[in-house]
Amino acid sequence: MRKKLPRKQNILSQIISITAIASISPLGNSSKTIWENYLSEDPCFSKHYLDHKNTLVATLDTHSQDEVELLRQSDIKYKALDKSVLYAMVASRKAMEIAGWTKEAVFGINIGSSRGATDLFEKHFQEYLETGKAQTLASPTTTLGNISSWVAHDLQSTGPEISHSITCSTALHAVLNGVAWLRAGMADKFLVGGSEAPLTNFTIGQMRALKIYSRSEEKYPNRALDLDKKQSTMILGEGAGVCCLETGKKENAIAFIEGIGYATEILEHNISISAEATCFQKSMKMALQSIDISEVDAIVMHAPGTIKGDLTEYVAIQKVFGESLPLLTTNKWKIGHTFGASGILSMEMAVLMMQNNQFIGVPFAEAQKQTKPIKKVLVNAVGFGGNAVSVLLSL
């Protein structure tokens, strides 16, 4: 019997219910459609003319785009909003409906973003460079805090409203924050998640400058979890996801948060991560401190498709789990990297695998066989700056 990791006797052992999870992404915006698309071995990438050339990206499906446009046209105040805000509003409305929360309910909101109103900010800034003048709504529609603020307005929330950016681990940091508020007794309900609409020329240009963007013409151009790849293959996607959190075991819970972990590395340079991803080792151990690690059935990895990012996380998992690795997967080979929203979309994948008791692997990676029910899944995320988060989910 594998020994349990050391456990701290504190409030980290308190169960948190996930009473809803909803998203809008290249996979669709309903759980049925999303699951069907996960079962398909086809990625959601298409070529768009960005960065002055045809570039592979993952955009929302047509139905989701139509739903976003309907929301934009539904209120004159919404017409000037960035797509990242509208995506979060669509996902939040769906999550509220699933959880059965009414607009009279008091709940907190924490929806973050790596880059915020990317498209709108770049357009306003370009106009300023060309004319020397900024539009009246340039500031209020491009501040990072406007995502949670507009969601709160749309849902008529009266609880605390928080926004933040912790790069690619933003959504899971929102989960951490929601859990902290709930366990502190400062709220009974929290809506948490992330939203990102980064498919712009400048953002793509930044990724190309880092030499991590995919140039592949293969069927699977994002080789996330291909540990033998010779070049980085990250591709960007867009989307938003949120989940409803409540304290204790609720009858309508679709999953539970059993453990949370977090850690930050000392940086050698702006985008560094250590060879053995020390931050991930610490965050995973912290999230797993209340269980025997052999109980973990699968891990949804961050694995963005970069050479170092994928390999160092894999090494960290080996360090924590030894030779008996859980099933390993990621969704970035299919929908790309959605930056600040990626962690919550990984949580959604984990919940769907548990609900359907079916592991969704990476089609080009080493084959893994499911030998037992999927009841506990660990979800990882990390961002520039070595800010790692791990969340342990269970049925």
SS3 289: coil
| Out of 2-11, 96-105, 223-232, least confident range | 2-11
Read off the pLDDT of each residue in 345-361 and give the average, rounded to a whole number: 97
Question: Which residues are 24's β-sheet partners?
Answer: 240
| Architecture in CATH of 15-394 | 3-Layer(aba) Sandwich (3.40)
Share of the chain above pLDDT 90, in %: 82
SS3 327: strand
Selected residue with higher pLDDT from 6 and 24: 24
CA distance 284 to 303: 15
What is the torsional sign of CA 346, 347, 352, 353? positive
SS3 83: helix
Read off the pLDDT of each residue in 355-364 and give the average, rounded to a whole number: 96
Structure tokens at 269: 């340079």
CA distance 280 to 299: 12
Bridging pattern class, strands 255-264 and 298-300: unpaired
CA distance 135 to 127: 9
Each residue of 23-73: pLDDT tens digit?
999 999 999 999 999 999 999 999 998 877 889 999 999 999 999 999 999
Question: Which residues are 257's β-sheet partners?
Answer: 16, 393
The pLDDT of residue 323: 85
**Residue 393 neighbours by CB under 8 Å, 6+ apart:** 18, 255, 256, 257, 258, 347, 350, 351, 354, 376, 377, 378, 379
Total-model pTM: 0.93
Secondary structure element (H or E) that encloses residue 360, with its range: none
Rounded to the nearest angstrom, the gap between the alpha carbon of residue 68 and the centroid of all alpha carbons in its chain is 19
Read off the pLDDT of each residue in 192-197 and give the average, rounded to a whole number: 98
111 has pLDDT over 90: yes
Confidence of residue 275 (pLDDT cuts 50, 70, 90): low
Rg (CA), the chain: 20
- Token pair 């929301």 is found at 71
CA distance 172 to 344: 6
User: Do residues 380 and 390 lie in contact, with contact meaning Cβ atoms separated by under 8 Å?
Assistant: yes
What is the torsional sign of CA 54, 57, 61, 65? negative
What is the torsional sign of CA 86, 87, 88, 91? positive
Structure tokens at 16: 């948190």
| Nearest CA among 311, 289, 292, 290 for reference residue 302 | 311
Secondary structure element (H or E) that encloses residue 390, with its range: strand 387-394
Exposure string of 69-91, with b = 16+ CB inside 10 Å and e = fewer, is eebbeeeeebeebbbbbbbbbbb
**Residue 334 neighbours by CB under 8 Å, 6+ apart:** 26, 27, 37, 38, 43, 44, 58, 222
The pLDDT of residue 46: 94
What residues does each domain of the chain span?
Answer: 15-394
Confidence of residue 384 (pLDDT cuts 50, 70, 90): confident
User: Do residues 227 and 314 lie in contact, with contact meaning Cβ atoms separated by under 8 Å?
Assistant: yes
Secondary structure element (H or E) that encloses residue 30, with its range: none
- Token pair 């499911």 is found at 370
Read off the pLDDT of each residue in 188-209 and give the average, rounded to a whole number: 95
Read off the pLDDT of each residue in 372-387 and give the average, rounded to a whole number: 91
Residue 226 Cα distances to 56, 307, 369, angstroms: 19, 9, 17
278 has pLDDT over 50: yes
User: Do residues 345 and 22 lie in contact, with contact meaning Cβ atoms separated by under 8 Å?
Assistant: no
User: Do residues 331 and 300 lie in contact, with contact meaning Cβ atoms separated by under 8 Å?
Assistant: yes
CA distance 201 to 126: 12
What's the maximum distance between 2 C-alpha atoms anywhere in the chain?
A: 69
CA distance 263 to 272: 14
Confidence of residue 4 (pLDDT cuts 50, 70, 90): low
Structure tokens at 221: 């151009």
